[in-house]
Amino acid sequence: MLDDIFIKYKSIVQQVDFLFNAIQERYPACVQCKIHCCDCCYAFFGVFPVEAAYINYHFNRSERKIKRDILRGVEKTETQMLKTLDKLQVFNDKPEMKIYGLGKERMRCPFLTDKKECILYEKRPIICRVYGVPFSLKDGKKEKVYVCPVSGFQEKVSYPTVKLDKIYHKLCQLSGELITSSGSTQAKKASLMLPLSKVLKMPLEAIIKGDFGE
């Protein structure tokens, strides 16, 4: 069951990598992604349950030293998160401002090593795979385009864009399939996005069943 889900997930990953490579081939001077470039590795973001299960599965099959180093990173990230949430308590009645504040906080990804390399690069989430090229997300009825600040892409110039909403829809559907296939009735949680620090400390079975709270 899990193998079949992961095969479908890797198919989505291949589609995303294809889109990235197509834009990179067309605008090689604009894509600045290279080894030790890690601007996008300092951001607060979440992953869909199917991504969470895939990352958790491979994390728990890593070498002991790799797991230990990543968990140290998790501790640092969680400490920073708690401090940030404490500062943002003034916006408890304004959730949109709280989300905005979290988005502006530069939180180091637990996968980022001191050598500025991703320790689980081949298994990295979808958002990490598209960040170096223009991508779009819907904001209400409008579609907002994002570009990497260290790239050569200009914000008000029209470029081929990765439609991230369409990819997220596929990930949400596949997450629902993952949870339902376990016999769980928590498929409604398929659209929830989980922080990596939480994903790496959870039992794989809990993720598969959607047993990760609200």
Mean pLDDT of 173-186: 95
Planar angle of CA 28, 30, 32, nearest 5 degrees: 90
The closest alpha carbon to 109, from 195, 209, 206, belongs to 195
pTM attached to this predicted model: 0.89
The pLDDT tens digits of the residues spanning 84-106 come to 777 777 777 766 676 666 667 77
The pLDDT tens digits of the residues spanning 131-161 come to 999 999 988 888 899 899 899 998 778 999 9
The answer for 140, left when phi > 0, alpha when psi is -120 to 50, beta otherwise, is left
Q: What percent of the chain has pLDDT over 70?
A: 94
Measured from the Cβ of residue 183, the count of other Cβ atoms closer than 10 Å reads 8
